[in-house]
Structure 1
Amino acid sequence: MAERLVVVGGDAAGMSAASQARRQRKPGELEIVAFERSHFTSYSACGIPYWVGGTVDGPEALIARSPEEHRARGIDLRMRTEVTELDLDRGRVRARDLDGGVRESWTGFDKLVLATGARPRRPALPGIDAPGVHGVQTLDDGQALLDTLATTGGRRAVVVGAGYIGVEMAEALIDRGYSVTVLDRREQPMSTLDPDMGALVHTAMCGLGIETVRGAVVTAVLTDGAGRARAVATEDTEYPADVVVLGMGVRPETALAAAAGLPLGESGGLLTDLGMRVRGQDAVWAGGDCVEVLDLVSGHTRHIALGTHANKHGQVIGANVGGGYATFPGVVGTAVSKVCDLEIARTGLLERHALAAGLQFVTATIESTNHAGYYPGARPMHVKMLAERRTGRLLGTQIVGREGAAKRVDIAAVALTAGMTVEQMTALDLGYAPPFSPVWDPVLVAARKATAAVRAAGA
């Protein structure tokens, strides 16, 4: 009799796991049932801001594999079906057909994969759930926002939060012809950067015509007589809004897991071993935005919602569920984004992360150019590095600049993964030609300055 694998969640991690398990095991050996509550599967959530802004087509262009394609590969994929309960003792899940009323049914499993993703942060504020207020995490969310933009009469948008999603959505709304105000409680936008590097992003946002209000504590979303959002109130004033977008990040969607008594970390994400098996469970795996992963730099677990990780998690889970062996060793926290032509990148620890981990460190910040200074089109690039005070081990890198800035962070990501010191980095044999880099690449210039800081600290 065939084993049954049940997958909860039909995006990157879930369907990667299902597809990899199918490749490992024949249909007669393994039955795969997957549940997805939305209208879409296997899509690029990272592309939603560019779809909203009109840079790319959607939603079809953002879909890597349709439900029909998954079914053709031997996966029983049930769309618009929400799992409402996990019964781990009996090995079954209860699911509801969202388009069929209140009908619910149980499905048994031999092996279970949880890939429930994350949900946008929605603070418990008056009016936060009013029509016209949008979180942006799924293609359904993106379509709902576009529907609002198509029907609203005004052209004023307020984005609450200035993290990656908030900044990207602000630019998308500018591209749509909206007047955009970004409200953020921090001193600088992009909490994924240190404040001194975030200040560079703030300057770029102002140049794009985005009003950015720092230190703004939102207290409510104000509504009109019809109950729709009309403004966002802070402790000091209110900002008129025809549409409100929440850009305060996401939290793991682990309500089902918590109700079933599965182990959660500090951020609320599921805790797994290196094989992505949920700790303390023999037949339950988890991956994607609903889990916490090991930070290879700090040694602690953390929640990082990225499609790159989710797909890798799925591959590891599918291999293990299918009878093979694979591990996911951890991450260094690499992420890139942009505001107009300003590229933003980080990997490793920020100053506050290093302090929280009890690490003593030095910092070095340099300004260089993306090309040789004499080559046409050379633009400024800022690089900041953190290095451990005693050993010189690289702890983190942040880069803000124009063309060619963002992907340079991959040099530091590899160095972090390898546990290199900043002094070792100065000898890296990187590619050079005037159209691509100065003789000394900006990353190496920062490594040299960080090396000098480590030596001075030890003197």
Structure 2
Amino acid sequence: MAAAERMVVIGGDATGMSAASQARRLKKPEELEIVAFERGHFASFSACGIPYWVGGDVTGRDNLIARTPEEHRARSIDLRMHTEVTELDVPGQRVRVTEHEDGGPGTQRWVGYDQLVLATGARPVRPPLPGIEAPGVYGVQTLDDGQALIDALEKNEDLAGEGAPGGGDGVRRAVVVGAGYIGVEMAEAFVNRGYQVTVIDRGQQPMSTLDPDMGALVYDAMCAMGIETVRNASVTRILTDARGRAAGVATDDGEYPADVVVLGLGVRPETELAAAAGLPLGESGGLLTDLAMRVRDHGNIWSGGDCVEVLNLVSGRPQHVPLGTHANKHGQIIGANIGGDYATFPGIVGTAVSKVCDLEIARTGLLERQAAAVGLQFETVVIESTSRAGYYPGTKPMHVKMIAERRSGRVLGVQIVGRENAGKRVDIAAVALHAGMTAEQMTGLDLGYAPPFSPVWDPVLVAARKASAAVRAARPN
């Protein structure tokens, strides 16, 4: 009987364990041995849920864990925790691993593979600022990060600001550096915990994933919530107290006291291993793959999730989009192909949704600057509508921006900022983008209507009508 193939997975979260699980469904242990290496303490967890755990909406760390290492092992997946891969030997089809089970320097050895899955994820941006390594400065990338932050908050909240410059006034203060998805979600988490929150961002407006005019709506709403939002500001250093703990943040224009500082500056692909092994990387530093999620020009090496670039179907260009939705899909596709089935990942349209307190923020497709960068000419419209029929109790305002290609009218992007049920309306636009619909075609969509859910004309369709009219007006006579 032929020996089983060996599938080695580097990274025990969404892509890696989805790939392992799907391959196991298709091939028995005697046909395919699966070994997965994870350097951290947790596997198969939802990093997206960490801000809601910190803020108290999610109770308990275990609720963010989809499957434990023991559950993976019970399915004949040899998941080895606290084990770091430090080198790839592509010609020799092996990886060097260091096992840290006992907390010591670790034992190194080589492990061979027939199929290799790189699911190394992304690393948070952590600029080399003075004081950045001080106690009291936290990231929120892993469950370890979230647990460390929660432990510190629960330990220190009774101090009521004593650690901050000028503190001891009974006010708990948090500074969040960065106003992207993680930044605004962490701002909400601290508001929920009763903190006075300052968000510092170097952008013109919060949420650089929106156009500035839509980001301005987010800024106004955050200020109205009592969240101090500092724009066009670069952090120069982390302030520390006499004990060496973080006590605030300094910018070129001022200082902002804090009991806790959280970094939400985004992430970059974790591809140092791949780069050292000579695997192909794109402009963002993400791995380049084919439609089957196979690393280009390497027949038995696969990759997906936050460490790869994917094709943007609207711009036609590769892009780094670190989202759990894609990571899980990539893993399913990789596992299917290694398991003898067939699957591909055609690309993305760039759909994302978030919220800060009761404000919902969503986008799909291209921003104005992205459309211009790839040479597209376009028309843009912004409409204000309501979440329900105007006469129905509880209706809230909603702004929708639509970008449509000049002449053709093809929808290029949609952004939505509003209250209840605003965010998930972006899915209407995401489907339209996947289908290559024009704004005029969108106006004919047969969407559900009842006064508690929508006006007669849904806000997205109102934007489509206005965009269609703008395209017609721009056409030459």
When normalised by structure 2's length, the TM-score is 0.95
Residue matched to 1:277: 294
Tell whether the 8 Å contact from 1:204 to 1:339 is kept in structure 2 after alignment.
Answer: no
Residue matched to 1:149: 153
Q: Which among 23, 41, 48 is matched to residue 43 of structure 2?
A: 41
Tell whether the 8 Å contact from 1:161 to 1:247 is kept in structure 2 after alignment.
Answer: yes
Displacement of 1:165: 0.3
Could you report, residue by residue, the CA deviation over 1:9-30 in whole angstroms, capped at 9, with x for unpaired residues? 0111000000000011110000
Displacement of 1:223: 2.0
Q: Which among 271, 274, 278 is matched to residue 261 of structure 1?
A: 278
Tell whether the 8 Å contact from 1:159 to 1:183 is kept in structure 2 after alignment.
Answer: yes
1:281 and 1:451 mapped to 2: Cα distance?
45
Residue matched to 2:335: 318
Displacement of 1:40: 1.1
2:258 and 2:307 mapped to 1: Cα distance?
32
* Structure 1 position 2 matched with structure 2 position 19: no
Residue matched to 1:15: 17
Residue matched to 2:360: 343
Query: Which is further off, 74-83 or 224-233?
Result: 224-233
1:70 and 1:227 mapped to 2: Cα distance?
42
Residue matched to 1:25: 27
Report 1:221-300 matches (<5 A). 221-300=238-317
Query: Which is further off, 97-106 or 183-192?
Result: 97-106
Residue matched to 1:301: 318
2:187 and 2:109 mapped to 1: Cα distance?
42
What's the Cα RMSD here? 1.0
Displacement of 1:98: 2.5
Report 1:360-439 matches (<5 A). 360-439=377-456
2:133 and 2:319 mapped to 1: Cα distance?
28
Could you report, residue by residue, the CA deviation over 1:76-130 in whole angstroms, capped at 9, with x for unpaired residues? 0001111111111111111112333222121111110010111111112112222
Query: What amino acid is the match of 1:454?
Result: V
Q: Which among 111, 115, 128 is matched to residue 111 of structure 1?
A: 115
Gapped regions of structure 1 (runs ≥ 5): none
Secondary structure of 2:467's match? helix
* Structure 1 position 64 matched with structure 2 position 81: no
2:452 and 2:173 mapped to 1: Cα distance?
41
Residue matched to 1:196: 213
Tell whether the 8 Å contact from 1:19 to 1:318 is kept in structure 2 after alignment.
Answer: yes
Aligned residues: 459
* Structure 1 position 82 matched with structure 2 position 84: yes
Residue matched to 1:352: 369
Tell whether the 8 Å contact from 1:160 to 1:246 is kept in structure 2 after alignment.
Answer: yes
Residue matched to 1:159: 176
Displacement of 1:227: 2.4
Secondary structure of 1:270's match? coil
2:150 and 2:451 mapped to 1: Cα distance?
43
Query: What amino acid is the match of 1:79?
Result: M
Residue matched to 1:54: 56
Secondary structure of 1:289's match? helix
2:225 and 2:119 mapped to 1: Cα distance?
37
Could you report, residue by residue, the CA deviation over 1:374-424 in whole angstroms, capped at 9, with x for unpaired residues? 111111111000000121100000011111111110010000000011011
1:229 and 1:255 mapped to 2: Cα distance?
30
Tell whether the 8 Å contact from 1:382 to 1:399 is kept in structure 2 after alignment.
Answer: yes
Could you report, residue by residue, the CA deviation over 1:230-285 in whole angstroms, capped at 9, with x for unpaired residues? 22110111111221111111111111111111111111111100000001111100
* Structure 1 position 449 matched with structure 2 position 453: no
Secondary structure of 1:271's match? coil
* Structure 1 position 135 matched with structure 2 position 144: no
Residue matched to 1:440: 457
Query: Which is further off, 22-31 or 144-153?
Result: 144-153
1:261 and 1:133 mapped to 2: Cα distance?
34
Query: What amino acid is the match of 1:432?
Result: Y
Residue matched to 2:164: none
2:229 and 2:74 mapped to 1: Cα distance?
48
Displacement of 1:225: 3.2
2:127 and 2:296 mapped to 1: Cα distance?
30
Displacement of 1:150: 2.4
Tell whether the 8 Å contact from 1:345 to 1:398 is kept in structure 2 after alignment.
Answer: yes
Query: What amino acid is the match of 1:371?
Result: R
Query: What amino acid is the match of 1:114?
Result: L
Query: What amino acid is the match of 1:47?
Result: G
Query: Which is further off, 379-388 or 240-249?
Result: 240-249
Residue matched to 1:215: 232
Query: What amino acid is the match of 2:43?
Result: T
Gapped regions of structure 2 (runs ≥ 5): 162-171
Query: What amino acid is the match of 2:207?
Result: M
2:259 and 2:66 mapped to 1: Cα distance?
33
When normalised by structure 1's length, the TM-score is 0.98
Secondary structure of 2:144's match? helix
Displacement of 1:457: 1.1
Among all aligned residue pairs of Structure 1 and Structure 2, give the percentage whose two residues are the same amino acid.
Answer: 77
Secondary structure of 2:249's match? strand
2:305 and 2:246 mapped to 1: Cα distance?
32
Query: Which is further off, 121-130 or 280-289?
Result: 121-130
1:364 and 1:126 mapped to 2: Cα distance?
44
Query: What amino acid is the match of 2:93?
Result: G
